[in-house]
Amino acid sequence: MAELAYASHVQIGEKRFRERYGLDFEDFQVGQIFKHRPGLTITQQDNLEESFDTLNQAMIHFDAHYASKTEWKKPLVVSTLTLQRLIGMTWKTFFKKMRILGWSALNMTAPVFGGDTLYAETEIMAKEDVEGDAACGKLTVETRGMNQDGKLVCVMGYDLLVYKRDAVPFEGVNY
């Protein structure tokens, strides 16, 4: 049997459990790798809506005829749509995230097209306490996105604040 790790639920009564995902800051260690599931298939409709929602005027994303005349042949998925999806997919591990502080680097390593399925994984690169912040610690992580063929499409390094065990704001609010 596989070895299991980290609680998905907290027991709040004899036979009552409440879903509570996410690792506390203390649980993270440098070198850990988390493979996020489920994956997510991106469609050209998603791409179109993202372009219009953000006022993106680059027609490579929404004019298929124009795209057919480029080396890509099909509309390219908006890079930052890929980024949003990859970070969204990490929620089970990082449910106790306070916020993202910023990205040190974000590289698109291969094109993403409508119909591609993305899988994300995250490696913990560094962790440290933050001066003046008793509630949260800072994680430096690298999230990588792969398509259905295992090809790396995006690599991003970023910092986020994650709540420490005694400060996770779940008590008293039914979480």
Q: Which residues bind another protein (CB under 8 A)?
A: 21, 38, 40, 46, 50-51, 53-60, 63, 65-66, 68-72, 76, 78-81, 83-85, 87-89, 91, 95, 97, 99-108, 111, 158, 169, 172-173, 175
Give the Cα separation of 124 and 145 in Å (integer). Answer: 15
Give the Cα separation of 73 and 75 in Å (integer). Answer: 7
Q: Nearest to residue 47, comparing CAs of 93, 107, 111?
A: 111
Task: State which residue, 14 or 95, has the beta carbon closest to another protein.
Answer: 95
Task: State which residue, 1 or 55, has the beta carbon closest to another protein.
Answer: 55
User: Least CB distance from residue 14 to another protein, whole Å?
Assistant: 26
Task: State which residue, 83 or 124, has the beta carbon closest to another protein.
Answer: 83
Task: State which residue, 11 or 68, has the beta carbon closest to another protein.
Answer: 68
Handedness of CA 25, 27, 29, 31 (dihedral sign): negative
User: Least CB distance from residue 66 to another protein, whole Å?
Assistant: 4
Task: State which residue, 3 or 19, has the beta carbon closest to another protein.
Answer: 19
| Integer angstrom CA distances of residue 35 from 46, 103, 114, 122, 153 | 24, 20, 23, 7, 15
Contacts of 175 (CB under 8 A, 6+ apart): 18, 20, 169
User: Least CB distance from residue 106 to another protein, whole Å?
Assistant: 4
Beta carbons of 25 and 96 less than 8 angstroms apart: yes
